[in-house]
Amino acid sequence: MAPYAATLHPEWVRVQPPCDYLTNIDHGQFQATFFMLQGKPRASWQDSVVLRRILYPLLAFPLMTAFGFDTGGFVTNLILTVVTFLAFVFFTRRAIGEAGAWVSMWILATYPGIAYWIGLPYSYVWIVPGSLLLMMLLWKLSRTTDHLSTLLVSLAIGFVFWGYDLFPFFGTAALLILARQRRFLHLPMAVLGMSIPVGILFLWLELAFHVPVRNPNTESYWVILSSFGGHIDYPGWWKLIAALPSIFIDNFLFSNFLFLPLLFVLLALISLISTRSIPLKAPELEILLATLLVFLFNNLAPPYGGWQLRGVWIARLYQPVFVAFVLFACRAVQSWWKPAHTGSAGLGRIAVLLVALTVIADSAVVFGPFLRLRMASSIYQRFYRHSPSPDSLHLNVERHGARPLGICISTRSR
C-alpha cells in the first residue's frame, strides 16, 4: 500500500477494487492528465490542477495505455526509480569513489521518500528521480568552463522541470553556483537555457490544450508575493516570525523522514570538530541555500488567506534537499574510509556506523506498515500532515491490510 494514500484519515481514503488497494483523494487530478493525453473530452480533465507536470504522464503513457492507469503507472514508477537509482550510484562511484557509491546505494535503497510516492501513478513520483538527475546536472554545471556547456546543461535542467515544480530549488541552486564561482557572464546563458524548456511547455499546453499557466494550485505563490503589499497585520506577522525556529527544525527533520537529516547533521558536526574536515561543496551548498530561501519565502510572508504553504503541516515541500544530504554522506565516508595507518580509520568507522544506523532506521519506516510499527505511521504523517491523526496509516493498514498492488488477500483485518 502507498503511504501517500494510507496516511489519510480512514474516512477519506479511496478504495480501489478488486483488492482494496488505497488511493489518495486526488487520484482523479492525476488521472485527468492521462485523459488529456488520450484525447478524451475536455470535461474529463480540464479541472485538474496538475496538468503542467506533464513529463511523468508522457513517460508513463505507453505503459498506462497498455496496462491501465494504475498498473501501467506503477510499472513506470519502478522503471524510473531503478534507472535513476543505478545512474546515481554509478555517478557517485565515478565522481566520488567506491565507498561513496556504496553509501549512496544503501541510503537510496532504504529511503522512505521513494516508498511514500512509488505505489501510486502520480507525478509526485518524479520528485526523487528528478532531484537525483538535477543533482548530477548541477555537479556537471559546477565543473563546466565554456558558455556552450553551460547552455546545454541548463537546457537539460529546464526539461527536468517538466516533471515537477523543482525550479525554486535547483534553478536557484544553478544560479548560486555560477554566482559563487564568479562566472557572471554564464548567468544569462543559464537563465536562457532553463527558461526555454519551461517556455516551450507553457506554450504547448496553451496552444494544444488551452491550459492556463495559473490555476488554484499555483495561485498560492502569487498570494504570498502579494501579501507584502497592501495592509499588513503586523502583530499577526510577528507571531508567525516568532514561530519560525520551531517550524524550521520540524521541516528540516521531517521533510526527509527524520533519520537522513540527522545523519547529515551528525556527519557535519564530526567534520567541524575533526582534523579531517569535509567542507560543503557545489552543488550541496547551493541546494541547501536554495532550500533555505524557499523555506523563508514560504514562512516569512505576512499573514495571508487561503491555502497556506507555511507551518509544520507540509514539510514535504522541502524533500528535494535530500540529494545534498546523500552526496555529503557519500563524500564524508569516502574521505574518512582509509586504511588504519593513516589515522582516519576511527572517523571512517564512525561514519559507516552512522550510515548503517540510518539505513536500519529508514528500513523500519519503509517496512513499518507491513510490520505494524506505529513509528512509521507517525514519521510518514509528519512528512505530510494531510490527516489530523498520526495513527491514520496504522489504522488503514489494520482495516485494509498491507500488500502489493494487484495482490488480493481474503483474510485481513477489518
- 297-330, pLDDT tens digit by residue? 999 999 998 889 999 999 999 999 999 999 999 9
DSSP bridge pairs for 23: 14
Q: What is the pLDDT of residue 194?
A: 98
What pLDDT is recorded for position 403?
80
- Cα dihedral 239, 240, 241, 245 sign: positive
The reported pLDDT for the residue numbered 17 is 81
Rounded-to-integer distance, Cα 119 and Cα 389, Å: 22
The whole-number average pLDDT for the span 221-241 is 91
Domain extent at residue 86: 3-400
By residue count, the chain amounts to 414
Kindly state the average pLDDT of the residues 11-26.
88
Q: Dig out the grid coordinates for 262 from the structure.
A: 540527522
Burial of residue 173, with CB atoms counted within 10 A of its CB: 0-12 exposed, 13-18 middle, 19 or more buried: buried
Domain contains 408: no
407 part of a folded domain = no
Helices (H), 205-243: 219-226, 234-242
Question: What is the rounded average pLDDT of the residues 18-33?
Answer: 92
Give the integer Cα–Cα distance in Å for 112 and 64.
Answer: 25
Distance between CA atoms of residues 65 and 187, nearest Å: 41
Greater model confidence, 343 or 354:
354
Q: How confident is the model at residue 384 (pLDDT cuts 50, 70, 90)?
A: very high
Work out whether strand 21-23 and strand 14-16 pair parallel, antiparallel, or are unpaired.
Answer: antiparallel
Whether 23 shows a pLDDT value over 70: the answer reads: yes
Query: Is residue 410 assigned to a domain?
Result: no
Confidence of residue 356 (pLDDT cuts 50, 70, 90): very high
**21 pLDDT higher than 50:** yes
CA–CA dist 216, 222 (Å, integer): 10
From the CA atom positions of the chain, what is the Rg in Å? Answer: 22
pLDDT of residue 341: 46
**Residue (of 336, 321, 349, 218) closest to 265 by Cα position:** 321
Q: Which helix (H) or strand (E) holds 22?
A: strand 21-23
Q: Is there a domain that residue 228 lies in?
A: yes
Burial 140-166 (b: 16+ CB within 10 A, else e): bbbebeeeeebbbbbbbbbbbbbbbbb
15 forms beta bridges with 22
What integer is the mean pLDDT of 403-410? 75
Mean pLDDT along residues 237-241: 96
Q: Is residue 16 part of a domain?
A: yes
pTM of the shown model: 0.95
Mean per-residue pLDDT, 233-237:
94
Categorize the per-residue pLDDT at 38 as very low, low, confident or very high, splitting at 50, 70 and 90.
very high
pLDDT of the residue at 343:
56
pLDDT for residue 411 is more than 50: no
What's the helix, strand, coil split of the chain in %, to 5? 70, 0, 30
Task: State the pLDDT at residue 20.
Answer: 83
The answer to whether residue 198 is domain-embedded is yes
3-class DSSP state of 302: coil
- Say if 44 falls within a structural domain: yes
pLDDT at 274: 87
Q: How many CB atoms lie within 10 A of CB 42?
A: 12
- C-alpha cell belonging to residue 169: 530549488
Task: Report the distance separating Cα 57 and Cα 35, nearest Å.
Answer: 10
pLDDT at 249: 98
> On the CB side of 161, how many CA atoms lie within 13 Å of its CA?
25
Structural contact between residues 221 and 284, judged by C-beta atoms closer than 8 angstroms: no
E strand or H helix at 28, and its extent?
Answer: helix 27-38
* Overall domain count for the chain: 1
Q: What is the mean pLDDT of the chain?
A: 93
The proportion of the chain whose per-residue pLDDT surpasses 90, expressed as a percent, equals: 82
Q: Rounded to 10 degrees, what is the CA torsion of 257, 260, 263, 264?
A: -110
State the pLDDT at residue 410: 53
Q: How far is residue 79's CA from residue 85's CA, in Å, rounded to a whole number?
A: 10
Domain assignment present for 414: no
Instruction: Please provide residue 332's backbone torsions phi and psi, each rounded to the nearest 5 degrees.
Output: -65, -50
pLDDT tens for each residue of 106-122: 999 999 999 999 999 99
